[in-house]
Amino acid sequence: MNVSSYVYGMSFYHRFDVRPKLFFSLVFIVEAFIVDSAVGLLLLFFLPMALMIASVGIREWWVSFRRLLPLLVMLVLFIPLQARDGMPILSVGGVTVVTEEGLSLVLRIISRLGGISMALMLLLLTERNEEIISGLRAFHLPYPAALASSMILRFIPYLGELFTEIRDSMSLRLEEGRRGYPMLPSITALVVAAIRMIPDTAASLEERGYGSAERIGYERRKRPNGYFIQWAIGAIIALILFLVR
């Protein structure tokens, strides 16, 4: 699973210590379920987006964000059709297609899903895997749980990468004149490849000594300059989100 989302940089957010980053990412995710006001929902979506763009640039933001797009498009297409009680906005032949309530519901979901996803992407784009493990260990998470968490966080980008690989490979098999790639075989192939990866990863971990009684304990992290200011900035953002909820 040798995929890294990390993008080298010296941005303001890159320089944040991993501990406040992890803590406030978690707080942000919890707040995403509390916030319900229009201002709060806008902040929820655009704050991590702005931070991503400021940290890694528009291109890298777009590369990460476009993986979410199919899901967001499906939400836009289907949720309004499912929630048609309320004030009609769009009717076709006397049948209500979109209501104010349906539209509001889909915007809420997109804001929460997009905001949470981008907050996690921001973490992975600006922190190396070993730093994330070390940060989780600083919160007294046992090593196996910290390792598993970091692998889970990387698993979705990994599947995204793997799917691109499969799609490319499938596109090399297409007949003349055909474009794109066969969707169903590609998804089947993705599932097969992901399942095949499990024993290989487990074997590789053990062969490198995972589970050994000799493993080193937690090595304390140093506090960087501005460490408490970083916590304060995170706390202010969390407080603002809470106040405008």
Partner 1 sequence: MAELDISFRYDSGEEVFSSFSLSMEKGEHVLILSPPGSGKSTLARILTGSAPKYRRGSLSGSFIVDGVDVLGLDIPERMRLIGRVSQDTDEMMLFSSVHEELSFPLENMGLGRAEREERIDGVLSLFGLERYRDVSTSELSGGEKRRLMLAVLFAIDPGIYILDESFDELSPAWRKRLASLVKGLDRTVIALGSHELAEYAEAFGRTVTIKEGRAAGYVGEPLPASSFPVRMNDRSLEAEALIIERDHRSSGDLPSFMLSVLSFSIRGGECVTLLGENGTGKSSFSRVLSGLLKERSGRVLFDGKEVSWRERRHRVAYLMQNPYEELFLPTVGDELRSTKASEEEVSEVCRLFSFDPDEYVQEMSYGRAKLLQAALFYLLDRPFAIFDELDSALSSDDFVAVVSAYLGKGVGLLVITHDLRVSEMLPGRKLSIREGVLCECQ
Q: Least distance to partner 1 from the beta carbon of 14, Å?
A: 10
Smallest separation (angstroms) from partner 1 to the CB of 225: 19
Between residues 113 and 197, which has the closer beta carbon with respect to partner 1?
A: 197
Q: How many CA atoms lie within 13 A of 24 on its CB side?
A: 24
Helix, strand counts (H, E) of the chain: 8, 2
Residue type, 162: L
The binding site for partner 1 (CB under 8 A) comprises: 1-10, 60, 128-130, 154, 161, 165-166, 168-177, 179, 182, 185, 188-190, 192-193, 196, 199-212, 214-216, 219
Cβ 230 to partner 1 shortest distance, Å: 21
Minimal distance in Å, beta carbon 143 to partner 1? 9
Return the number of the residue (36 or 206) whose C-beta is nearest partner 1.
206
Report, in Å, the least distance between residue 19 CB and partner 1: 19
Q: Toward partner 1, which CB reaches closer, 196 or 223? A: 196
Nearer to partner 1, 91 or 169 (CB): 169
Q: How far apart are CA 143 and CA 215, in angstroms?
A: 10
Amino acid at 183: M
Distances (CA, A) of 99 to 24, 73, 88, 181, 204: 35, 18, 4, 36, 53
Q: Which is nearer to partner 1, 66 or 77 (CB)?
A: 66
The whole-angstrom separation of Cα 84 and Cα 106 is: 12
Contacts (Cβ under 8 Å, ≥6 apart) of 189: 166, 170
